[in-house]
């Protein structure tokens, strides 16, 4: 929070380190996991701060995990959030079609639908007819000279040999910062969305 971050969303890799489980269970921690994991899963999928809420979902197409329907899950979440003006939905998903469908499904019902997971920023920022800002993928914050933030040699070996390899994040060199800036009016309807992408020198 000292860095100005109000909430972290997450995705399928949130379960890779068991050390994160107690943080997920801490209701005061600014970290949420996809809402549509089954009941009993550590953590929560909604962060609310006054008149602003963030909902984290995970897609089902090509993702591998057995999760509840993200479309039905967001319907239930919006019932809980009745009266909240600004609602931002992060759909962590592989398939662009699933993310675009969610954008149209929620158009006029939430302030923004932003896709994550692929690490690659998309050029389809727009405000949908009902006033929901949309982008298929935000991109990532990570090393520029990498494969999705990872050292490229082990990744290349995996592609070349099909053998397992350990992937480690690149820790030095320039970094890319991908993001969007969404403007909303007093009712929570989006009036603009723009990409803000920067390269941070080493």
Please tell me the number of Cα atoms within 13 Å of 8 on its side-chain side: 15
- Record the tokens describing residue 195, joined without a space: 């990409």
55 in helix, strand or coil? strand
Rg (CA), the chain: 17
Point out the catalytic residue in the list 13, 92, 117, 119: 13
Q: Taking a C-beta distance cutoff of 8 angstroms, is the pair 127, 168 a contact?
A: no
Instruction: Give me the residues paired with residue 141 across strands.
Output: 177
Q: Please, what is the Cα angle at 124 between 3 and 132, to 5 degrees?
A: 70
CA distance readout (Å), 74 to 39, 62, 80: 15, 20, 10
CA–CA distance, 151 with 153 (Å, rounded to integer): 6
**Among this protein's residues, is 13 annotated catalytic?**
yes
Residues recognised as catalytic: 13
């Amino acid at each position: 929070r000292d860095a100005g971050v109000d909430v972290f969303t997450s995705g399928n890799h949130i379960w890779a380190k068991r050390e994160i489980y107690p943080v997920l269970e801490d209701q005061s921690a600014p970290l949420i996991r996809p809402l549509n994991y089954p009941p009993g899963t550590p953590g929560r999928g909604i962060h609310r701060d006054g008149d602003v809420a963030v909902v984290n979902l995970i897609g089902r197409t090509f993702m591998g995990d057995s999760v509840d329907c993200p479309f039905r899950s967001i319907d239930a979440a919006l019932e809980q959030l009745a009266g909240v003006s600004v609602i931002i939905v992060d759909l962590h998903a592989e398939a662009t079609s699933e993310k675009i469908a969610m954008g149209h499904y929620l158009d006029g019902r939430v302030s923004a639908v932003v896709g994550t997971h692929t690490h690659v920023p998309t050029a389809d920022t727009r405000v949908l007819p009902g006033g929901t800002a949309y982008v298929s993928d935000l991109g990532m914050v990570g090393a520029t000279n990498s494969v999705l933030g990872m050292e490229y040699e082990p990744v290349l070996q995996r592609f070349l040999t099909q053998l397992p390899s350990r992937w480690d994040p690149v820790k030095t060199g320039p970094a890319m910062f991908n993001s969007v800036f969404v403007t909303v009016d007093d009712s929570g309807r989006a009036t603009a969305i723009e990409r803000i992408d920067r390269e941070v020198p080493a």
